[in-house]
Chain A
Amino acid sequence: MDLLRFITCGSVDDGKSTLIGRLLYDSESVSLDVLAALEKRQASNGVVDLALLTDGLRAEREQGITIDVAYKYFTTPRRKFIITDAPGHVQYTRNMVTGASNADMAIVLVDARQGVIEQTRRHTLIAALLGIQHFVLAVNKMDLVQYDETIFNQISADYAALTDHFQLPKATAIPLSALNGDNVVTRSRQLPWYAGPSLLEHLESVPGAVEVAAAPRFQVQYVIRPQTPELPDYRGYAGQVLSGQYRRGDKVRILPSEQESTIEAIEVSQQKVETATAPQAVVIRLRDDVDVSRGDTIVPLHDEPTLTRELEATLCWMSEQPLWPGRKLLLQHHSALVKAAVPAILHKVNVHTFARAATDSAQLNDIVRVRLKTAVPLAVDNYHQNRTTGSFILVDELSGDTVAAGLIGEANANYFTAPTSPPVAFSI
């Protein structure tokens, strides 16, 4: 059985929480005691509010809104699912980016009465920017438009025009009612004209995560040196295969030191193995006595990342304190933590149109393009070739807060460089 992580996005009141509640409820993933607690709260009108399954904080229940990202789990005989429930309106871009960074798929909710709106467009663009390949357009509240086929077709066509324009992956459109459960888990008799799968059937068939296709990347998290009488010279580099596959005997280079060596052994749970494949957590031992420490990257000689102290990147700024050119920060590239400076903010990206605008600062929730300098060279890839080695965060040295999410390189080379028509500058 495999695993699919997906995010739900959409405007406030499009019914995201209700949809998740419905998925959990109809797939029999809600326990009786949890349901009893819900029913207790809804005694007055007798209708169970499924949204309360996800809004877990006191303030969320008081205000009836989702404040923070929540994670929910359910399993069907075919798959385990991790749902990232990202809030629609409060600090939207920041939360969307947080949720989308770990998702394999995005469900974009649209209210059938409203159709494709600004928020639909913005969420779709941000999800695509974060590299999500699979999209579902969930046309919700079909019960409120008498399950009208023409309305659904119109919304699907509007959305297809949007994805075509930005050269985004094509979405699968599904008409449904989260409130009544139409087409969420089971296909609905209310929608006889719709021949496609229910949402859950679709979720069960979408391809899951694939890290193997990318170039082999491994970063050292921790050096294991037992220094015991039995193992006086053991030196193992513990870390996760971030992408691709490694093989015993591979010739490798250690970055940033650029030393060369050969993989002597690969160990998984103390057993020697011939190959290690993403996302396995392994220990790699090298033939030569080279100096390797936490944050170093071990890569095959023939397929190396860029080693650089100067980066161009797209940032989602997540702090209330703005970013000014010249500001010094810490850059965390997975296990590597280095000092960094932002010499220049190149432009800001309009999250509705992805058009560029000049700017001299980045404010909370802004998406900006910047140049970065780091104190030591980093081994990086373009985000759209490798979501793991192409991503980083910026950290405020004093408070320790995470202030930005960063995407390295010519972001969106796949989607935004060649817009069909009209021509818009989308190379963010």
Chain B
Amino acid sequence: MSTPTFDYLDRLEAEAIHILREVAGQFERPALLFSGGKDSIVLTRLAEKAFRPGRFPFPLVHVDTGHNFPEVLTYRDALAEQLGEKLIVRSVEETIKRQRLREPGGKYPSRNPLQTYTLLETIEEFEFDACIGGARRDEEKARAKERIFSVRDEFGQWDPKRQRPELWNIYNGRIQKGENVRVFPISNWTELDVWRYIQRENIALPDIYFGHERTCVVLPSGQLLGLTEHIRLDQDDEIVTRQVRFRTVGDSTCTAAVESDAATVEDIIEDLLLAKVSERGATRLDDNISEAGMEDRKRNGYF
């Protein structure tokens, strides 16, 4: 009997497909949260492997903050079309109007915290009992503590002290009415794993991941923020044009670019192997507000 050896990407892939199929088997109304970023793009590829030649047993759901990069929205629509799967878009703009929320103030008004409101509204509207997301444990130290099946209460809250033990590869998705489960099939992947998988599977990505010329505002930290209509410019702000790419795709108002002329996935992997700064450290403005920023937002229902 031949015994093939599997490398770590094969193992991570098999684990993620197993998790996706458990969601399909255990829940009545799951959803796949799709932002158009690399992690959720990888999830759609894994879902194809898990469920083709059938349809996905869940729709793709995008919570649009209104501050997204246009290239990403174009990519989102094209991918949904190509997959032939249902795409549900709900907008933070609408939530702000309906719930009379206050728009974020400040110079770089991030709508990241407001996403939670729209997400919870969407979960209620469609009665989703499970939401699949592309979060990874290597992103942040509070995430390193989170289970693959993460039970949230009716307010979407995560309680790190009351997590269910997760044993072997058995995933317990039993919940009570009103609760929902956030499921993270690529929990055990790192940023580099995601890129190596994209390379191996030859997955197309939005252009903003590759080096391109962009007009940017230079932040006091030295980070570069792509110039958009949502940023409130002052007279002494320094505006530059640089060759940049994005390591992560979040809100345009809180996701910094890195200088790079990487033109291919191979170049990006090369870049990453040399990078001394983590993905979030390099690009996210809102995690650095406090030591427990992510933990606190997750407790409130954020992903």
Contact = CB atoms under 8 A, between A and B. Distances in A.
A41 B190 CA distance: 26
B8 A226 contact: no
Interface in B1-57: 1-8, 10-15, 17-18, 21-22, 24-25, 48-55, 57
B138 interface: yes
B160 A57 contact: yes
Contacts of A228: 53
A33 B277 CA distance: 6
A226 B48 CA distance: 13
A102 B168 contact: yes
B64 interface: no
A222 B14 contact: no
A68 B160 CA distance: 8
B167 A405 contact: yes
Interface in A223-239: 224-226, 228, 231, 234, 236, 238-239
Contacts of B14: 240, 279-281
B3 A245 contact: yes
A108 to B, nearest CB: 20
A80 interface: yes
B172 A68 contact: no
Interface in A307-335: 318, 330, 332-335
A269 B165 contact: no
A350 B52 CA distance: 49
Interface string A341-373: 000000000000000000000000000000000
Interface residues of A, number: 74
Nearest to A56: B141
A34 interface: yes
With most chain A CB atoms within 10 A of its CB, the pick from B5, B143, B168 is B168
Nearest to A269: B49
Nearest to A57: B160
B196 to A, nearest CB: 10
A201 B79 CA distance: 44
Interface in A204-254: 209, 212, 221-222, 224-226, 228, 231, 234, 236, 238-240, 245
Contacts of B164: 401-402
Given A61-B291, A334-B169, A391-B168, A275 B21 contact: no
Contacts of B5: 2
Interface string A102-142: 10000000000000000000000000000000000000000
A75 interface: yes
Interface in A42-74: 53-59, 61, 67-73
Contacts of A391: 167-168, 170
Interface centre among A101, A221, A399 (most CB of B within 10 A): A221
A73 B25 contact: no
Contact of A68 (B17, B163, B275): B163
Interface of A: 1-3, 31-34, 37, 41, 53-59, 61, 67-73, 75, 79-80, 82, 94-95, 97-98, 101-102, 209, 212, 221-222, 224-226, 228, 231, 234, 236, 238-240, 245, 269-270, 275, 277, 279-281, 294, 318, 330, 332-335, 387-388, 391-393, 395, 399-402, 405
12 contacts: A56-B141, A56-B145, A57-B160, A70-B141, A72-B144, A79-B8, A212-B3, A238-B50, A245-B3, A269-B52, A280-B14, A402-B166
